[in-house]
A and B are shown apart, each in its own frame.
Chain A
Amino acid sequence: MTTVYINKKAVEVNEGSTIFDAAAKAGIRIPTLCHVENQFPKGACRVCMVDVEGARNMVASCTTPALEGMKITTNSRNVREARKFVVELLISEHCGECKTCVRNEDCELQQLATEMGIMEIAFPGETLKTFIDDSTAALVRDSGKCIKCRRCMTVCNEIQGVGSLFAQGRGFESKIGPAFDQHLDGVACVQCGQCAAICPVGAITEKEHIDFVWEAIEDPKKFVVVQTAPAIRAALGECFGYEPGTRVTGKMVSALRLLGFDRVFDTNFTADLTIMEEGTELLTRLKKALVDKQQVALPQFTSCSPGWIKYAEYFYPEILDNISTCKSPQQMFGAVAKTYYAKKAGVDPKDIVVVSVMPCTAKKFESQRPEMNDSGFQDVDYVLTTRELARMIKQTGIDFKALQDDVMDSPMGSGSGAADIFANTGGVMEAAVRTAYEIVTGRELPVENLHLQPVIGLEGVKKASLKIEGCLPAWSFLEGVELKVGVAHGLGNAKNIIEAMRAGEEFHFIEVMTCPGGCIGGGGQPRFTTNEIRRKRIGAIYAEDEGKQLRKSHLNPEVIQIYEEFLKQPLSHLSHELLHTKYFDRN
């Protein structure tokens, strides 16, 4: 341990800690615009300056190791003025109008300027040039607003291992972006939006669908249905001042009705449907391998996360056969809304507009994939992020906190607890195992509270194995099989688990979620997401699961109903047509 003195207070920290870490441990906030939790510090923004006794100059606390006996001051006049000067310099380059910026009042630069009492532009010189890159379905980049903090670079390269963004050029002319000023659609960007979620300013944002949605709602000829992903209910409240981890399911439903949606449905319904299809697909692959001795692609990978799909299409096209052919719950919803539901409700599917609320930016891209038209129309028309939904609610002046709880509509509004946990890392795996185990053995998964404990939590790669015993006669080929599953979240970890698999480690089923923590940490979620907030949102999701009577996908009455009335059985011809898809080598 090392002892340092921050503002005369002794703080003990682990060796190798930085001054920034030490201050955080002592509960002293040092402002920063470039720091990324658990990542090697870049020292790019220079806002976190502190005074160290005996040092020649002020130092950036994020890159300076805390050494034994160091005397550090974080709040002297000198320090405050130095930080203010740095922020003034950043503002002098920054080309953006706060009043009309989508990040107004949700901007870290603006917040620091307010905190530091910056009341005028100190250096009204040349500002950055604005180049807008709106080439992709999900993201918009604005070079004029970029402060070169490099957070997006850190998440894109070091956390996601995608590497589409990097610092280009030098000095005033430098830009953060793809190579040689290319647009994002020209490079291997998976559209995960982790860059947009971590950008301190408005330089990378989601491509808004709000206006399209208002237009659809106001069109009397259109029948607008909305689906909400499970991760929304555990995070939307944060946009209205609730503590992270507060569940706002009922209020969210009320708000959606007030916005004017004709039906409020639940992506949980199709998450349960996904489990039926994907679980059956896994059992079918295992049967082919074990009984028919056929060559079959195992392990099976999950397919709910569109960033992961695009990542595999770019970086691991050779494993595309291993990825479940199931569409994601969002796309399954669109396909059945414009077929099954249209028929049931007597609405012409051409008049149905399907809007999704997703914690995700890649879902915008996914909804526009040309093959996602199996209903005869674009299956999902518009995708709103959690942040966009909050903005829509604010636009109407709805007092969110004062809303009563309401419930989703039928017949696509019921979801099991297993569907809720799709929102976090390990959840799809647990949901699948809950159902698959019961189908195979006729008994409930024999673990406490139905939780597959080894795959829960924020560790990057998690593994579990489960011995299958006492199979029903139809599944006797699985008797004694040790089912090995793996879970990865964050694409860098996806890479790690694929490499482990290639090195010979055996898996039968692997869940991959694009974003750290899973969808609860998605690129479309309220800012700012840290591991602490991820844990709170995950806590809320498990509480939602445990609070339900219905905790297994195959027992969802609406899912049973759709098979009886429409799809007949998992992997039926119609299921294949509407609920399954294919992938493309983009390399």
Chain B
Amino acid sequence: MTELKTEKTSCSCGEVNEDELYERLKIIVQSQRTIPGALIPVLQTTQNLFGYLPERALRIISKELKKPYSEVAGVVGFYSYFSTTPKGKHTIRVCLGTACYVRGGQDILKALQKELNIGIGGTTPDKKFSLEVGRCFGACGLAPVVMVGDQTFQRVKTNGITDILNSFE
């Protein structure tokens, strides 16, 4: 999956005018209209733009790429990477692919849930962290793996998670 280049914006914290984001989305989608297989890269870019995938954006994508809305929703629902609810500033993804699972990914996840006091898919009240489960990041040799945003942490131990969390503003 190659991501489309887009100006990175701060997520949904209200710093950027929403209408402006939709204008940018339209330009992106229109440039991708005729490219086969554009749906996933467009969804990734959109999620980067908004911090999540709002319904209005998905409707625009469906219309512009001429894909049934049910199909767009199907793709969004299939990949745990995509989210239709607003996320915190940093998204933590705990890998529960086979290797990470075997090497204690589940314990890491539980510890994070306890530490942050949120469930899977949840966001902390201060909107700093969201917690997600990932299905193999392709780094099985480093298991168990946790990603925070686009930063990867390898061979994570339960007693190391506080340090990881503290390293984020």
Chain A contact residues, CB within 8 Å of chain B: 157, 162-170, 174, 177-180, 187
Contact = CB atoms under 8 A, between A and B. Distances in A.
Closest 6 A/B residue pairs (Cβ)? A163-B68, A179-B73, A166-B70, A166-B74, A169-B77, A179-B70
Nearest to B58: A179
A187 B77 contact: no
Contact of B70 (A164, A169, A170, A174): A164
A180 B77 CA distance: 8
Contact of A157 (B68, B72, B73): B68
Contacts of A165: 70
A170 B84 CA distance: 16
B115 interface: no
A177 B69 CA distance: 11
Contacts of B70: 163-166, 168, 177-179, 187
Contact of B84 (A157, A169, A177, A180): A180
Contacts of B107: none
A157 B72 CA distance: 13
Contacts of A163: 67-71
Contacts of B73: 166, 168, 178-180
B168 interface: no
B71 A157 contact: yes
Contacts of B77: 168-170, 174, 180
A532 B80 CA distance: 43
Main secondary structure of the interface of B (DSSP, over half): helix
Given A179-B73, A179-B74, A180-B73, A166 B84 contact: no
Contacts of B58: 179
Contact of B78 (A162, A164, A169, A178): A169
B143 to A, nearest CB: 21
Given A166-B68, A170-B77, A187-B70, 11 more contacts: A162-B68, A163-B70, A164-B70, A165-B70, A168-B70, A168-B77, A179-B58, A179-B69, A179-B70, A179-B73, A180-B77
Contacts of A177: 70
B58 to A, nearest CB: 8
Nearest to A163: B68
A345 to B, nearest CB: 48
A164 B68 contact: yes
Contacts of A169: 77-78
Contacts, number: 42
A157 B68 CA distance: 8
Nearest to B135: A170
A354 to B, nearest CB: 35
A341 B74 CA distance: 51
Main secondary structure of the interface of A (DSSP, over half): loop
A536 to B, nearest CB: 33
B78 A179 contact: no
Contact of B72 (A164, A174, A179): A179
Which of B68, B71, B73 has the most chain A CB atoms inside 10 A of its CB? B68
Interface string B39-78: 0000000000000000000100000000111111110011
Which of B72, B73, B78, B84 has the most chain A CB atoms inside 10 A of its CB? B73
Which of B70, B71, B77, B84 has the most chain A CB atoms inside 10 A of its CB? B70
Contacts of A170: 77-78
B69 A168 contact: no
Nearest to A164: B70
Contacts of B84: 180
A156 to B, nearest CB: 8
A174 B68 CA distance: 18
A486 B28 CA distance: 39
Nearest to B78: A170
Nearest to B84: A180
Which of A157, A163, A179 has the most chain B CB atoms inside 10 A of its CB? A179
A177 B77 CA distance: 12
A164 B74 CA distance: 11
Contact of A167 (B67, B69, B72, B74): B74
Contacts of B78: 167, 169-170
Contacts of B74: 166-168, 179
Interface in B76-121: 77-78, 84
Contacts of B67: 163
Nearest to A161: B68
Contacts of B72: 179
14 contacts: A157-B68, A164-B68, A164-B70, A165-B70, A167-B78, A168-B70, A169-B78, A170-B78, A174-B77, A179-B58, A179-B70, A179-B72, A179-B73, A187-B69
A162 B67 CA distance: 10
A326 to B, nearest CB: 30
Nearest to B79: A170
Contacts of A167: 74, 78
B81 to A, nearest CB: 12
A172 to B, nearest CB: 13
A174 to B, nearest CB: 8
A170 B73 CA distance: 12
B83 to A, nearest CB: 13
A98 to B, nearest CB: 30
